[in-house]
Chains A and B, each alone.
Chain A
Amino acid sequence: MKPYLVASQVSFHRHSEAVFQPVDLNLLPAALCVVTGANGSGKTTLIRTLAGILPVSEGSLERNAAMAFIGHRPGIKDDLTCIENLSFMQRFYPSHPTREALGAHQALKQAGLGCHVRRLAGHLSAGQRRRLALARLLVSPADVWLLDEPYTSLDTAACQWVDGLLDHHLASHGAAIVTAHQRQPALTHTIDRLEVIAGARAT
């Protein structure tokens, strides 16, 4: 099987200093990689580099699949309603043709936002906003999910929903890279771990 993502000795330099120690990663279909590390060790920087938002300073990165990145900032417009936000995401983000995509209404219902369809996103709570951001994975399915702290501000039920999404994604030969420092994904699939170590500056 061709790996979705191959990183060899990848690092990102900020002000010509490495933020994290070089990383090797080979992401195969149906694999979940959980990135762990202390605060400030560069988990977010690593996942942003893998997503293509930050340039690779050293090493090589090969991306063979459509990716979806959901970071700390959820990419939701406060002045649009939930359904408008999700419909926009559906059209804006590329979705993989062979993957099953849900309609926006259905995805909102799954995310537990079924009764907030016409509510402005700015009036949602932090947890509801994160649910809305994650609902994007249902409407524009990608091969590789890059989730930066997906469990932040989610309640237990929503955390289990995310676990279910990940399980289903892996079962359909998707792959995911997840950073998590508090709650860890509880899945039926096996999980690879990748420890990020801060670059030379912090040590």
Chain B
Amino acid sequence: MTRSTAQPLIALLLRDLKRARRHGGQSLLPLVFLFSVVAMIPLGIGPGPNLLQAIAPGMIWVAALLSGLLALDGLFKSDFDDGTLEQWWVGEQPVVRLVMVKLCSHWLITALPVIALTPIAAQMLYLPNEALGLLLLTLLLGTPILSLVGGLASALTLGTRQGGALLGLLIFPLIVPVLIFSTGAVSAYLDGLPVRPYLLLLVALLVLAMSLVPLATAAALRLNIE
């Protein structure tokens, strides 16, 4: 890609990041969500290290998934409402690339802070340090899938007025395998079993999602523009 074709993409990414920074309160929501879950769980089920350690990967993963979901509703909505989205079809830039940039900014805004602060959350739930690296790896592989699948659901529900509930219904069945393989990998590691198959499955899901979902998202956006 030459510099001139990359420039609009970079401009779009920087604009989204700038807007996220401007809405600081909203951008911190995923982190608030993560730590609410991590702080509430011991209060709800008791602070015993053994129990917490067993559920830690699952809890952190569920918190990461749900916090990623929070920002999905508005992913394309604001661009759609103010007319920026329809401009995507006027230029010569392939829409799939622009979709990738939007999904990338969603991941940077919602998933990256959660991943960055997961070590602290893992400490709070007594997750053994040696399992932390693996948990972070599954998050790095799995959260982009959430952004991709979520982006597709967000594009499909763009025209509906109350898309929020529908969005959840569309995403959950598709994201369940990611949750199972990710938490399965960490549990297997804690039990001394091999983790390679889980990770390979995650990578396969990520590759599949990265190659197909942007195309579907672009098509879904086009349908809503009409």
Given contacts A69-B90, A73-B83, contact A80 B18 (CB under 8 A): yes
**Is the CB–CB distance between B90 and A67 below 8 Å?**
yes
**Is the CB–CB distance between A93 and B87 below 8 Å?**
yes
Main secondary structure of the interface of A (DSSP, over half): loop
Chain B nearest CB, measured from A6 CB (Å): 17
Q: In this complex, what residue of B is CB-closest to A121?
A: B82
Selected from B8, B10, B12, B225, the residue in CB contact (under 8 A) with A94 is B8
- Which residues of chain A from 39 to 78 have a CB within 8 Å of any chain B CB? 48, 51-55, 66-69, 71-78
A contact residues, total (Cβ < 8 Å): 27
Bound complex: CA A200 to CA B167 (Å) = 37
Residue numbers in A under 8 Å from B130 (CB-CB): none
Selected from B15, B19, B90, B92, the residue in CB contact (under 8 A) with A68 is B90
Q: In this complex, what residue of A is CB-closest to B98?
A: A92
Residue numbers in A under 8 Å from B11 (CB-CB): 88, 91-92
A79 within 8 A of B: yes
B23 within 8 A of A: yes
**Is the CB–CB distance between B90 and A72 below 8 Å?**
no
Residue numbers in A under 8 Å from B8 (CB-CB): 91-94
Can you list, as one digit per residue, whether each of A96-135 has a CB less than 8 Å from chain B (1) or not (0)? 0000000000000000000000000000000000000000
B191 within 8 A of A: no
For chain B, give the interface size range.
Answer: 20 to 34
Given contacts A91-B7, A93-B8, A94-B8, contact A53 B86 (CB under 8 A): yes
Bound complex: CA A51 to CA B15 (Å) = 24
**Is the CB–CB distance between B15 and A53 below 8 Å?**
no
Q: In this complex, what residue of A is CB-closest to B87?
A: A75
- Which residues of chain A from 124 to 165 have a CB within 8 Å of any chain B CB? none
Residue numbers in B under 8 Å from A74 (CB-CB): 82-83
Chain A nearest CB, measured from B110 CB (Å): 18
Selected from B18, B84, B86, the residue in CB contact (under 8 A) with A48 is B86
- Which residues of chain B from 72 to 110 have a CB within 8 Å of any chain A CB? 78, 81-84, 86-87, 89-93
**Top 9 A-B pairs ranked by shortest CB distance?**
A73-B83, A91-B11, A75-B83, A75-B84, A92-B8, A53-B89, A69-B90, A92-B11, A53-B86
Which residues of B are in contact with A by a Cβ distance under 8 Å?
7-8, 10-12, 15, 18-19, 22-23, 78, 81-84, 86-87, 89-93, 222, 225-226
Which residues of A are in contact with B by a Cβ distance under 8 Å?
14, 48, 51-55, 66-69, 71-80, 84, 88, 91-94
